[in-house]
Amino acid sequence: MIIIMKNNSEEKDVEKVVSRVKELGYDTHLSQGKTKTIIGIIGDLDREELIDSLAAYPEIDRLVPIQEPYKLANKSFKDSETVINIDDVVIGGKDIVIMAGPCAVESEEQIINTAKAVKRSGAKVLRGGAFKPRTSPYSFQGLHETGLKLLQKAARETGLKIVTEVMDPRDVELVGKYTDIFQIGARNMQNYFLLKEVGITDKPVLLKRGMSATYKELLMAAEYIMSSGNQKVILCERGIRTFEEYTRNTLDLVSIPVLKKSTHLPIVIDPSHATGHWDLVGSAAKGAVAMGVDGLIIEVHPEPARALSDGEQSLKFSKFDKLLSELKDISRVVGRNI
């Protein structure tokens, strides 16, 4: 960390700060400019506590962290890309893994038909919510354990793996009985107790970026899971909030190459929640594949106009099937498989 003192700071101000840093057990390195004095702190110490307390000194202009605050998720700290195996499904390898299914599990017929359809088109993982985060307490909140059982049934009939959201730390055990991958929703990206709870399981976690989170905050949320013991984190970009009202969110596709530079974890894109319109999903998915994504999570519903949740952003079976064949062509050009 670097401490930038206020303009024309006096020697006694500098000494005061230096002595506080030394008291905390660190060495310093002074650099005297024309108007600014800069104090480098030697050691591993971009800790929030240190920043918080040093920032309170009125003699200091500001603090500049030097190290990225995430360690286990950091590309610099691990030699190879993280590859997550769930039986024969490999996330983070050459295959681009397609996860598909309805926003919410609504009925046995709905989920089983959808599972069969998406499997046929090439999906490897079945998505579907049993616990639904809804803005309104008066909206459909999911079928809960009944939904989990239906997901399991659909998965068994098709051989698909399951990804489903868990929202309450008390439900991690229950959801873990049925799912192959835990999903942490955007609203819970900084629900630290939930992160820690999935962090002590051994199942992969699909961690969605918060609505207005930065990359660093996303990686710090991953760090919560990883520092609890679970290294199998899959990052998911699902659109961020911007001023644009036409789309539900603004999909940040450049997150793909940025995260590939910053971390060894695999990256998945959710074009359905990001755009909020079924007729934008295909284009967004194509962009993601061309840009090096490791997976896509797409909403598919047998009859979107009768969906209990997010119908507008769901694809019908036929559109999904056509999209997947187009994605295969693009994936081939960029050296990947679907």
Q: What is the DSSP string of 23-77?
A: HTT-EEEEEE-SS-EEEEEESS---HHHHHHHHT-TTEEEEE--S-S-STTBGGG
The site map against a second copy for 115-134 (x = CB under 8 A) is ------------------xx
Residues contacting a second copy: total by CB under 8 A: 106
User: From the CB of residue 320, how many other CB atoms can be counted at a distance below 10 Å?
Assistant: 27
Select 295 or 304, whichever has its Cβ closest to a second copy: 304
- Distance, in Å, from the CA atom of 101 to the CA atom of 304, rounded to the nearest integer, reads 11
Select 45 or 118, whichever has its Cβ closest to a second copy: 45
Q: Give the sheet arrangement for strand 37-42, strand by strand.
A: 27-32, 37-42, 2-5, 60-64
Select 35 or 80, whichever has its Cβ closest to a second copy: 35
- Distance, in Å, from the CA atom of 37 to the CA atom of 334, rounded to the nearest integer, reads 50
Select 120 or 211, whichever has its Cβ closest to a second copy: 211
The site map against a second copy for 69-98 (x = CB under 8 A) is x------x----------------------
For the chain, the residue count is 338
Q: How far is the CB of 91 from a second copy (least distance, A)?
A: 20
Binds a second copy by CB under 8 A, chosen from 87, 88, 138, 202? 138
- Distance, in Å, from the CA atom of 53 to the CA atom of 58, rounded to the nearest integer, reads 11
- Distance, in Å, from the CA atom of 50 to the CA atom of 237, rounded to the nearest integer, reads 31
Q: Is 333 in the site for a second copy (CB under 8 A)?
A: yes
3-state secondary structure of 127: strand
> Which H or E run includes 198?
helix 192-199
- Binders of a second copy in range 216-245 (CB under 8 A): 216-217, 220, 223-224, 227-228, 240-245
Binding window for a second copy (CB under 8 A); candidates: 88-96, 122-130, 146-154, 165-173: 165-173
> Which H or E run includes 162?
strand 161-165
Binds a second copy by CB under 8 A, chosen from 10, 19, 66, 177? 66
- Binders of a second copy in range 254-273 (CB under 8 A): 254, 256-258, 261
Select 84 or 167, whichever has its Cβ closest to a second copy: 167
Binds a second copy by CB under 8 A, chosen from 83, 90, 174, 291? 291
